[in-house]
Structure 1
């Protein structure tokens, strides 16, 4: 039996975690939160500003601390793409519910991300989008309780896919 206390969506920026999360929460009768929005609210800055002004390592530390402080029930949680760099935060999330990796091909992620420089993506200035895709995919898979490939599916189909998987594993 799986832990459906919370459903936590992980994956690359542009994977649709927030959009899927809202619709999934509605279908499950859960509340919805987006950890990127919590982080921005707590810091009073946009993600990109935090990264630019405080640096990548400080951003990751802030994100990790925020994740470890989450104590929720009956929520769908859309996470930032960089949460997989937060080992302590990921362990805490795993204890809070079911981690689902929303998997997409690199080509799909690249098509969806038009604003890579202003979106607040936690990446070193020397890294390309492809570099972080390769680096993160193995981490997403390592942490995930389930992997759901949403490549080539519209939002409604993706939500149906997630609901069916959750129903099958109750």
Structure 2
């Protein structure tokens, strides 16, 4: 790592399909800190998939579990992959900024939509099962104003996970100097 990079917890935020999971896994290896996937932590704690939580308990209950999982991070230094809606609650964004650096993986809607329309993605994401493209676009626009409050924004459209990671490392150097 070197170069005097002050390491704290890094929170990856962005809309579903922006690459938080793949970038997070790669970045955690580069920084030699563990990855922490908020959705996986919730599934493990609740003994249900995110899809089941949405179906049986609703989005509000899921958002409560999500806020709790963000605050119960069992590590001091990690790369945290949040759910796409985590920043909608202002207190989550404020908390994450107080504990580390929040990085927005900004992806244009057409690129996201192409990624999300792959069969395996559609099945995993509760919001895609019940909403039209127009609904998802509206949600994307609503959430974007929250994402924009992040410490660092990385444009991901034409980049691989590895290239996004390289951009993050450059920006972290700049942000922490």
Task: Identify which of 144, 154, 158 aligns with 1:148.
Answer: 154
C-alpha distance in structure 1 between counterparts of 2:72 and 2:93, whole Å: 12
Q: Aligned residue for 1:158?
A: 164
Q: 1:8 is paired with a residue of what secondary structure?
A: strand
Structure number with higher helix proportion: 2
Q: CA deviation at 1:124?
A: 7.6
Asked if the contact 1:23–1:159 (Cα under 8 Å) also holds between the matched residues in 2, the reply is yes
Q: Aligned residue for 1:120?
A: 126
The runs of 4+ residues in structure 1 deviating greater than 3 Å are 1-4, 115-118, 120-127
Q: CA deviation at 1:66?
A: 2.1
Aligned length: 169
Asked if the contact 2:103–2:153 (Cα under 8 Å) also holds between the matched residues in 1, the reply is yes
Give TM-score, length-normalised by structure 2.
0.85
- 2:146 matches 1:139: yes
Q: Aligned residue for 1:48?
A: 51
* Alignment RMSD (CA, Å): 2.4
Q: In the TM superposition, what whole-angstrom CA distance separates every residue of 1:16-64 from its partner, at most 9, and x where no partner exists?
A: 1111011111111111111010011111111111001101111112212
Q: 1:128 is paired with a residue of what secondary structure?
A: helix
* Correspondence list, 1:1-170, <5 A: 4-70=7-73, 72-114=75-117, 115-116=121-122, 118-121=124-127, 128-142=135-149, 144-170=150-176
Q: CA deviation at 1:92?
A: 1.7
Q: 2:112 is paired with a residue of what secondary structure?
A: helix
Give TM-score, length-normalised by structure 1.
0.89
Gaps of 5+ in 1: none
Q: 2:22 is paired with a residue of what secondary structure?
A: helix
C-alpha distance in structure 2 between counterparts of 1:160 and 1:81, whole Å: 22
C-alpha distance in structure 1 between counterparts of 2:162 and 2:26, whole Å: 9
